[in-house]
């Protein structure tokens, strides 16, 4: 990802997950139901059966909503929102989604070994406790394998705030070792697949620390 002007943390993460900007789904959800269904139908190449299945309704119900003869219930609107968010994640190509999904793996300090390459990283302004400054963090080498799939699932299930919350929970637990941090702006956010010829080895907690290194709450490992 080429370096651009600083953007918000939410905007950078949503662009990576959906190729849409901050609040992308919220804007879709404010449109009339007929327009939302039209958008979903477009994502399913106009296939009525697939569109109805994505929305969790029958084709008859779909037609009724489109014609305005009936309106979806609150529960149906929730299903529609999830279908829209799932479709948004598929605006990112399957190849790029696979790259994102392979960008996290607990290799920890062993990532300093030249045989390990890649991994998700972020450059931007980050506050940790009272220390606010520009940082570059290779957080992908400290988060569990498959973590970004969990972030994507959180977006589908609960929307943008749920995805951000899941992402920050992982960063706090596995990278910053504290919840007292804030990503103030992002210059670059990239998700490169990790290449690790040594495979899965580590301590009982899945961390990779040397015999002389001890992690304490608040410690971070800057790569």
Confidence at residue 117, expressed as pLDDT on a 0 to 100 scale: 76
Q: In angstroms, rounded to a whole number, what is the distance separating the alpha carbons of residues 165 and 104?
A: 17
Q: Domains in the chain, start-ordered, CATH in brackets? A: 18-92 (1.10.260), 97-190 (no CATH)
Range 132-141 average pLDDT: 93
The CB-side HSE value for 79 (13 A sphere, CA atoms) comes to 14
Residue 110 has pLDDT above 90, yes or no: no
Give φ, ψ of 178 to 5 degrees.
-165, 155
Residue 73 has pLDDT above 60, yes or no: yes
Q: In angstroms, rounded to a whole number, what is the distance separating the alpha carbons of residues 187 and 11?
A: 11
Confidence at residue 209, expressed as pLDDT on a 0 to 100 scale: 40
Residue range 192-216, pLDDT digits in tens: 888 766 555 444 444 444 333 344 4
Q: Which of 132-141, 183-192, 196-205 has the weakest average pLDDT?
A: 196-205
Residue range 5-23, pLDDT digits in tens: 789 999 999 999 999 999 8
Residue 185 has pLDDT above 90, yes or no: yes
| Helices 160-171 and 9-18, packing angle to 10 deg | 110
């Amino acid at each position: 990802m080429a370096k651009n002007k600083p953007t918000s943390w939410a905007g950078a993460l949503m662009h990576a997950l959906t190729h849409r900007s901050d609040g992308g789904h919220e804007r879709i959800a404010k449109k009339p139901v007929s327009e939302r269904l039209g958008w979903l139908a477009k994502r399913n190449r106009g296939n009525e059966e697939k569109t109805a299945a994505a929305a969790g309704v029958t084709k008859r119900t779909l037609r009724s909503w489109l014609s305005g003869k009936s309106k979806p219930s609150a529960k149906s609107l929730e299903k529609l929102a999830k279908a829209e968010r799932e479709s948004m994640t598929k605006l990112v190509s399957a190849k790029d989604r696979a790259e994102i999904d392979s960008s996290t793996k607990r290799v920890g300090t062993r990532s300093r070994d030249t045989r390990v390459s890649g991994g998700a990283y972020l450059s931007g302004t980050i506050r940790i406790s009272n220390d606010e400054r520009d940082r570059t963090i290779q957080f992908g080498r400290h988060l569990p394998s498959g973590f970004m799939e969990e972030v994507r699932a959180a977006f589908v299930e609960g929307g943008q705030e749920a995805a951000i919350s899941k992402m920050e929970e992982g960063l706090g637990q596995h990278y910053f070792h504290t919840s007292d941090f804030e990503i103030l702006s992002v210059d670059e956010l990239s998700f490169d697949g990790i290449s690790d010829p040594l495979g899965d080895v580590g301590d009982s907690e899945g961390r990779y620390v040397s015999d002389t290194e001890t992690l304490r709450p608040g410690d971070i490992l800057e790569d």
